[in-house]
């Protein structure tokens, strides 16, 4: 029977070509949009973890409540003991302290007078320890645009675009003015070792990267840090494990009433990222439904017109004793063949496009200059196992629904009328 239906579709291209092209296009777009949204999610998670708060973040309860304001006066103290305990009890993560702060960068002229100033955001990480994972996590060498990486105390990196606006080059001196942990004002002189570009507008706009020892000295945060961040040693983010490990850590401190007691948060619970990814999943479902509805309408109209044109054929089949139900089932079989072949071709084309963009990416820097999210401007798709079959949902469902809806006309049409049309 399947062979008979396939031969009929092959010989009568007028009833198979347009539906097949419709399915191919719809499935291809579904697969491409799926890989694009998944790529957006991966980009967002990886960049937020790498340049932000890691896969999990340990901070004081008071700091966590106001984390968006970078309240270093509420930072964790006694970091050495806590860091050692985290490395011993949670070995799945690579742990490292970080301090994020805001300040003012002052550039002196030859006489020592201010010639330029600019607000700057600071990221202090462990740059010099032999066991520190930070240089590899931040990818500082590939991000370096000019100069060198900091090699000693008092050297910092500056965002290349920010340095260009201020007219400062590697080797120049700069003074940083910041508020300390104790709510005082502090100044410190630094040398610009080099400039960087992470490809993330939020970081490249006005950011400085320095060693955490220098930051602790200027911020009066000896043995303190805003956060102790953890990165999965396996590399990729494991949502279930991050949440379970955070729950295990927090259960040990649940009985403490101290607002400065440590608290662990997984990445998706920080800065509303879980809600944002939830909206992405809704968007993905909406896209599949939209394509399904569009393809259903197109294929329904195509099937309806095809049935009208085939009334003579249907009349012959009924006259030979075939039942209406069998006729409709054969039409559904034809739609399944078209849907299956179209889904295979559409999925193959969608995966080819997805793999190409996954490898080469698309540069959106012109559209993301003012972006505040931690995302790189070169976006890539992400081909996952789901991408291999998600296109079959609209591809098969739309063709079957279209055939069933169009086939209702056969039941509504009287057999005598179909035979009459055969005579004419």
Measured at the CA of 373, the angle between CA 180 and CA 287, to 5 degrees, comes to 155
- pLDDT tens for 358-372 read 888 787 665 555 555
Which of the four pLDDT bands, split at 50, 70 and 90, describes residue 198?
A: confident
Whether 329 contacts 337, CB under 8 Å: no
Residue 406 confidence (pLDDT) above 90:
no
Q: Backbone phi, then psi, for 283, in 5-degree steps?
A: -60, -40
> Whole-structure pTM over 0.75, yes or no?
no
Q: Where are the beta strands (DSSP E) in 217-312?
A: 224-225, 227-232, 262-266
* Residue 129, C-beta contacts closer than 8 angstroms, at least 6 positions apart: none
Q: What CA–CA distance (Å, rounded) separates 105 from 178?
A: 9
| Tally of CA atoms within 13 A in the half-sphere of 247 that contains its CB | 6
Closest by CA to 203, choosing from 50, 69, 39, is 50
Cβ pair 124, 98 in contact under 8 A: yes
Beta strand segments in 180-335, E = 185-196, 207-211, 224-225, 227-232, 262-266
- Give the residue carrying structure tokens 């960087």: 196
What are the residue ranges of helices labelled H in 49-95? 61-65, 79-89
Report pLDDT digits (tens) over 199-240.
877 777 889 999 999 999 999 888 888 899 999 988 788 888
Compute the distance between CA of residue 146 and CA of residue 129 in angstroms, rounded to an integer. Answer: 23
> Tell me, what DSSP letter sits at residue 187?
E
Task: State the average pLDDT for the chain.
Answer: 80
List Cβ<8 Å contacts ≥24 apart for 289-292.
291/26, 291/29, 291/30, 291/394, 291/398, 292/393, 292/394, 292/397, 292/398
CB count within 10 Å of CB 344 equals 16
Instruction: Work out the pLDDT band at 90, boundaries 50, 70, 90.
Output: very high
For strands 155-159 and 185-196, give the pairing: parallel
CB atoms within 10 A of CB 325: 11
pLDDT band at 422 (very low <50, low <70, confident <90, very high): very low
DSSP-assigned letter for residue 52:
I
283 and 387 in contact (C-beta within 8 Å)? Answer: no
For 348, list phi and psi in degrees, rounded to 5. Answer: -60, -45
Give me the mean pLDDT over the 27-49 stretch: 83
Task: Evaluate if residue 61 carries a pLDDT over 70.
Answer: yes
Q: Which two tokens stand for residue 321?
A: 């004793």
pLDDT at position 98:
92
Res 211: pLDDT: 92
pLDDT at 15: 59
Q: What tens digit of pLDDT does each residue of 132-174 get? A: 888 888 888 888 899 899 988 889 999 988 888 888 889 888 8
Confidence of residue 69 (pLDDT cuts 50, 70, 90): confident
Ordered by start, the domain boundaries in the chain are 2-47+275-423, 56-236
Structure-token match 């619970």, residue found:
269
């Amino acid at each position: 029977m399947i062979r008979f239906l396939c031969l009929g579709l092959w010989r009568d291209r007028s009833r198979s070509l347009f539906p097949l092209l419709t399915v191919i296009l719809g499935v291809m777009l579904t697969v491409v949009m799926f890989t694009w949204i998944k790529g957006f999610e991966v980009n967002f998670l990886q960049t937020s973890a790498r340049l932000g708060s890691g896969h999990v973040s340990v901070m004081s309860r008071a700091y966590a409540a106001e984390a968006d304001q970078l309240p270093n006066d509420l930072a964790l103290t006694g970091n050495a003991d806590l860091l050692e305990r985290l490395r011993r009890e949670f070995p799945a993560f690579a742990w490292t302290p970080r301090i994020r702060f805001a300040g003012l960068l002052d550039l002196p002229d030859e006489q020592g007078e201010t010639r330029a100033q600019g607000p700057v955001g600071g990221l202090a990480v462990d740059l010099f320890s032999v066991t520190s994972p930070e240089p590899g996590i931040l990818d500082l060498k590939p991000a370096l645009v000019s100069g060198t990486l900091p090699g000693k105390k008092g050297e910092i990196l500056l965002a290349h675009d920010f340095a260009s606006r201020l007219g400062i080059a590697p080797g120049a001196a700069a003074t940083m003015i910041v508020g300390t942990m104790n709510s005082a004002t502090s100044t410190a002189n630094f040398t610009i070792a080099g400039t960087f570009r992470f490809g993330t507008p939020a970081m490249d706009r006005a950011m400085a990267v320095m060693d955490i020892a220098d930051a602790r000295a200027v911020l009066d945060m000896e043995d303190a840090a805003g956060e102790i961040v953890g990165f999965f040693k396996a590399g990729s983010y494991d949502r279930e494990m991050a949440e379970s490990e955070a729950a295990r850590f927090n259960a040990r401190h649940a009985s403490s009433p101290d607002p400065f007691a440590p608290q662990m948060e997984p990445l998706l619970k920080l800065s509303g990222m879980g809600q944002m990814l939830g909206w992405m999943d809704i968007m993905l479902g909406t896209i599949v439904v939209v394509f399904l509805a569009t393809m259903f309408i197109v294929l329904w109209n195509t099937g309806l017109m095809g049935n009208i044109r085939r009334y003579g054929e249907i009349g012959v089949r009924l006259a030979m004793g075939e039942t209406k139900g069998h006729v409709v089932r054969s039409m559904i079989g034809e739609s399944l063949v078209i849907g299956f072949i179209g889904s295979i071709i559409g999925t193959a084309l969608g995966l080819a496009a997805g793999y190409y963009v996954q490898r080469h990416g698309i540069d959106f820097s012109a559209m993301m200059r003012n972006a505040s999210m931690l995302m790189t401007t070169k976006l890539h798709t992400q081909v996952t196992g789901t991408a291999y079959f998600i296109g079959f949902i609209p591809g098969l469902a739309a063709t079957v629904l279209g055939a069933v809806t169009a086939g209702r006309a056969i039941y509504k049409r009287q057999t005598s009328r179909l035979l009459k049309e055969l005579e004419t």
